[in-house]
Amino acid sequence: MPGPGAEALATAPLYERFYAVVAQVPCGRVVTYGQVARWAGYPGYARQVGYALFRLQGTGTAIPWQRVINAQGQVSYSPHRQGYDDLQVALLRAEGVVFDAAGRIDLDQYGWHP
To the nearest 10°, report the CA torsion of 17, 78, 60, 74: 70
**Judged by CB under 7 A, does residue 57 bind DNA?**
yes
Residues between 34 and 53 that touch DNA (CB under 7 A): 34, 44-51, 53
Shortest approach of DNA to residue 109 CB, angstroms?
Answer: 14
**Judged by CB under 7 A, does residue 23 bind DNA?**
no
Cβ proximity of 97 and 28 under 8 Å: yes
Instruction: For residue 35, give Cα distances in angstroms to 1, 2, 19, 21, 23.
Output: 32, 29, 13, 9, 13
Binding residues (CB under 7 A) for DNA: these are: 13-15, 32-34, 44-51, 53-54, 56-57, 65-66, 68, 70-72, 76, 78, 80-81, 84-85, 88, 102
